[in-house]
Amino acid sequence: MDIKPILAALRHHKGGTALIALQIALTLAIVCNALFIIQQRLDRVGRPSGVQESDLFVIQNDWAQKLAPAEADARMRADLQTLRQLGSVQDASASNSFPLHGAGWDNFVRMSPDQVKMTTDSAIFFADEHTLATLGTRLAAGRNFRADEIGSQTGNDPLHARQVIISDGLARTLFPHGSALGKTIYTSNDQSPSTVIGITGTLQSHLTELWAQPYAYNAVLVPARLTGDSTFYLVRARPGQLVDAMRQAQDALYAQSRMRIIPADGGVMTFAQARQRAYDADYGMAILMGIISAVLLVITAAGIVGLTSFWVGQRRKQIGVRRALGARQRDILGYFLTENLLITLGGLLLGVVLAVALNLWLVIRLGSQPMSPLYLAGGVLLLLLLGQGAVLAPALKASRVPPVEATRSV
Amino acid sequence: MFGYYFQLGMRSLRRNPVLTALMVIAIGFGVAASMITWSVFRVVSGNPIPQKSGRLFTVLIDNRGPQYNDDGEPPEALTYTDANAMIRAHKAPHQTLFYPISLAVLPDGNRSLPLKAIGYATTADFFGMFDVPFEYGSAWSAQDDTRRAGVVVLSHQFNEQLFGGADSVGREVDLSGHIYRVVGVTRHFDPKPRYFDLFGGSAFDDPMQVYIPFNRADDLQINTAGRNTCGGAPDTGVGTGREGWLRGECSWIPVWVQLDTPAQVADYRAFLEGYAAKQQRAGRFRWPPNVRLRDVTDWLAFEHVVPPESRISLVVSIGFFVICLVNTIGLLLAKFMRRSAEIGVRRALGAPRGEIYRQFLIEAGTVGAAGGVLGVLLTAVGVGGVGLLFAPRIARLAQVDLPLMALTLLVAVVATVVAAFYPTWRAAKVQPAWQLKSN
């Protein structure tokens, strides 16, 4: 196909040509970035927590009066005893927070007491000998806590943990070459050492924010009950008995003592709900970007159909002349497809620049990640196909213009 | 003429229903997407206290030093030591400090279970500084602060819950086992974002329910229900338990001052520098004074209170709207140029270019208005479903109100008319002779 006459014809439709090209450029810029954002968000949402999430639920328990630390510790032990004895409950444990919770305690981790800058940041989960079994998290190396090692402390005391279990993510960050087992780390402001006695499999932190991405799999399990104004009880139901266990657990706790508050909204929550909460902003972004991309592609396609139809209508006479002079139907079809291809290519050229610029803005202003060129390539291909698809109907209509049109007056 | 052109416009739009529908739908979706995201953005990026945002300052003091502070910035709240020193010094016309608390209202006749009450432990100045409106009674007095009195201010909603909304001033409430006398009930008080408590990350959280004197809470050793950040500096030798923690260098108490004139601001800054210098001389700080005095807008910007999701979705939605407009320009161009013959006849019969402009811009305005009406409907639906797109605490900020609906309509019409300038210009350029010439 000779493109010279097409270019000559386009020169007579500068306005319309520029508009379609601009629309394609902007669409490419938005759709590439939107798809990239969707992919990023879904990646985050799809990360494993290292927790066996089905059959697990969380109870938020606030004490209704101020308790001395020893009293709070005794009540927590009694509550755990009660929970573990329920028929529908497999295991239970108390903690200050849990993976994906968002709020919690995080400390800097150092390799030596006099090190100034932290090596990394890690979630601190207070734990006992039941915690790993309750979470359904695997112990990859070393040993679990023993019942006689579990102490208690308040949130006002500096973290005191002579022996800790750490997540494999933290172990690999701290000791990239060789095992962390038996090594000493420093997690407390009072510079007391902690010996690593166990390493879990994958275990996610409570931190879900974007800034905490590098620390998302760092967790230190401390063998103590944190006594304070409130606590979480993590409870694993026997398989398939989640609903029963959730009801029974709450009733049993109130039967034990009514001097507690289990909030009506979110006080008893399945882990699935906790996960949903952690990621609702991500789901929202993915949905919004998805809707916008889809509507955008439809509108751009419709715009191409509309303008090309107009051009076809405008050039019926010329098409008739060409047909009368011997052009075949597919020459006419090819003409319009090629014309669209040229305009689309022009638009995509500009669009690639705009897409990169928009991504750059997101990176600089909002700390997003740079977009992989694959998204650009995908977007370009998508819009080429969209353009050709949209132009097909008007182009077919043009190809059916009879040669006799050449002889007709207006 | 307006009425006539309007009729012509309607007739022309009816002539190509598909093209018209396409334009209206594009504008409707474009403006709705922008407005839905804008309805959230205007709240999260808004100034919650415009009348005095330049006179309220949060006080920050670097107690960690260059090795351990956050890229040179002091922690976002003060330690117990520094916060109390600021209040005792009383160097500003008004100053307050606070921390979030979580208490329990014990069961009584109506309830068999304790009820949670979230609030702030603060001082009398809090209410005046942050313009807290009162329904009954008033804030407690400065004397109540010094007497460490057991008094409480309830929120409207909590008063409703406890006393059925009656004037409860003078009544008593048992909070976590201690009796407090009600001195005031606020009206609905829920600034968004809650600019003074950004340290706690509760910019968009539920409103507080109770307020009690800081000194009283301190006497009762009520722990903070909010954030506590100790930084990375070694903190040895301060002991364990609450006493050790209070004496230590953990930051957990926001402090605010009200400074009404530039002179007061300068004086306070000098006082603050002096305070830090004194700490340096005393050997507590081993670095020169590093203090900040940030007003409300400065603080909102520094704390990045606008969620990135809200900013991204607004930018992308506006981009989407621009594309819809570009699309409309193209379609209007096609539509107008198809009527070249008609324009030619009108021009030949003596219509000046201005009339052509007027006719086609009015026609575009009708398209914009139709798009705007669709946009208003889609915005209403979309804001209802915005819970799908944003976290619940952000999503509930989105409200459809009259200004938003008016803005939707206005933006749709204005944007479409602006977009129509190019096609109209082309239409007005049509040469009458050319069109009249028979082929």
Mutation for testing the A interface, residue in B20, B99, B250, B312 having most A CBs under 10 Å = B312
Please report the residues numbered 288 through 307 in chain B whose beta carbons come closer than 8 angstroms to any beta carbon of chain A: 307
pLDDT over 90 at B96, yes or no: yes
Whether B118 and B39 map to the same domain: the answer is no
Please report the residues numbered 370 through 389 in chain A whose beta carbons come closer than 8 angstroms to any beta carbon of chain B: none
Q: Which residue of B has its CA nearest to A277?
A: B391
Closest by CA position to B184, among listed B117, B150, B136, B132: B136
Domain boundary residue among B272, B302, B332? B302
Which pTM does this prediction carry? 0.88
Cα A91 to Cα A87, A98, A201, B186: the distances in Å are 10, 15, 19, 45
Residue A58 belongs to a domain: no
Asked if B422's CB is within 8 angstroms of A190's CB, the reply is no
Domain boundary residue among A225, A258, A291? A258
Residue A53 belongs to a domain: no
Whether B11 and B94 map to the same domain: the answer is no
Q: Which residue of A has its CA nearest to B322?
A: A26
Residue A264 belongs to a domain: no
Whether B145 and B216 map to the same domain: the answer is yes
Domain boundary residue among B264, B284, B302? B302
Whether B195 and B218 map to the same domain: the answer is yes
Instruction: Give me the residue from B106, B236, B245 closest to A64, CB to CB.
Output: B106
Whether A107 and A205 map to the same domain: the answer is yes
pLDDT 10s digits, A195-234: 999 999 999 999 988 888 899 999 999 999 999 999 999 9
Whether A224 and A172 map to the same domain: the answer is yes
Cα distance between the two ends of chain A: 30
pLDDT over 50 at B58, yes or no: yes
**Domain range holding A224?**
65-258
Residue B51 belongs to a domain: no
Whether A70 and A157 map to the same domain: the answer is yes
pLDDT 10s digits, B123-149: 999 999 999 999 999 999 999 999 999
Q: Does B17 touch chain A (CB under 8 A)?
A: no
Measured CA to CA, the distance from residue B390 to residue A189 in angstroms comes to 37
- Output the average pLDDT for chain B: 91
pLDDT 10s digits, B210-268: 999 999 999 999 999 999 998 877 766 667 788 888 988 999 999 999 999 999 999 99
Whether B12 and B131 map to the same domain: the answer is no
Q: Does A195 touch chain B (CB under 8 A)?
A: no
Whether A185 and A319 map to the same domain: the answer is no
pLDDT 10s digits, A321-361: 989 898 899 899 999 999 999 999 999 999 999 999 999 99
Q: Is the dihedral of CA A394, B24, A287, B323 positive or negative?
A: positive
Whether A79 and A12 map to the same domain: the answer is no
Whether B259 and B374 map to the same domain: the answer is no
Residue A363 DSSP symbol: H
Residue A168 DSSP symbol: H
Q: What percent of chain B has pLDDT over 90?
A: 64
Residue A59 belongs to a domain: no
How many CB pairs below 8 A link A and B? 185
Whether B198 and B225 map to the same domain: the answer is yes
Contacts of A10 (CB under 8 A, 6+ apart): A17, A339, A342, A343
Q: H-type helices in B228-284, by residue range?
A: 241-247, 262-281
Residue B28 belongs to a domain: yes
Q: Which residue of B has its CA nearest to A276?
A: B391
Whether B230 and B351 map to the same domain: the answer is no
Q: Is the peptide bond before B352 cis (omega within 30 degrees of 0)?
A: no
Whether A157 and A89 map to the same domain: the answer is yes
Residue B204 belongs to a domain: yes
Whether A345 and A388 map to the same domain: the answer is yes
What is the per-residue pLDDT for B439? 46
Residue B50 belongs to a domain: no
Greatest pairwise CA separation for chain A in angstroms: 103
Residue A99 belongs to a domain: yes
Whether A74 and A192 map to the same domain: the answer is yes
Whether B275 and B422 map to the same domain: the answer is no
C-alpha R_g of chain B: 31
- Average pLDDT score over residue span B37-65: 93
Domain boundary residue among A224, A258, A292? A258
Out of A124-138, A395-409, B95-109, least confident range: A395-409
Of these ranges, A159-163, A357-361, A367-371, the one predicted with the greatest mean pLDDT is A357-361
- Report how many domains make up chain A: 2
Whether B291 and B374 map to the same domain: the answer is no
Q: Does B274 touch chain A (CB under 8 A)?
A: no
pLDDT over 60 at B438, yes or no: no
Tell me the pLDDT band of B201, cut-offs 50, 70 and 90: confident
Q: Which residue of A has its CA nearest to B116?
A: A261
Whether B37 and B61 map to the same domain: the answer is no
pLDDT over 60 at B25, yes or no: yes
Measured CA to CA, the distance from residue A96 to residue A81 in angstroms comes to 18
Chain B residues in contact with A64 (beta carbon < 8 A): 104, 106, 114, 176
Mutation for testing the B interface, residue in A269, A288, A315 having most B CBs under 10 Å = A288
What is the per-residue pLDDT for B238? 67
Out of A115-119, A275-279, B98-102, B282-286, least confident range: A115-119
**Domain range holding B89?**
56-302
Instruction: Give me the residue from B113, B220, B312 closest to A366, CB to CB.
Output: B312
Asked if A302's CB is within 8 angstroms of B307's CB, the reply is no
CA distance A236 to chain B (A): 26
| DSSP bridge partners of A109 | A120
Whether A42 and A69 map to the same domain: the answer is no
Asked if B309's CB is within 8 angstroms of A314's CB, the reply is no
Asked if A118's CB is within 8 angstroms of B232's CB, the reply is yes
Region of B239 (left: φ > 0; alpha: ψ -120 to 50; beta: rest) is left
Whether B293 and B314 map to the same domain: the answer is no
- Dihedral angle computed from the Cα positions of residues B155, B161, B163 and B168, in that order, rounded to the nearest 10 degrees: 0
Instruction: Give me the residue from A259, A280, A410 closest to B391, CB to CB.
Output: A280
- Report how many domains make up chain B: 2
Tell me the pLDDT band of A160, cut-offs 50, 70 and 90: confident
Q: Does A330 touch chain B (CB under 8 A)?
A: no
Closest by CA position to A188, among listed B227, B285, B231: B231
Out of A55-64, B55-64, B351-360, B368-377, least confident range: B351-360
Residue predicted with more confidence, A76 or B13: A76
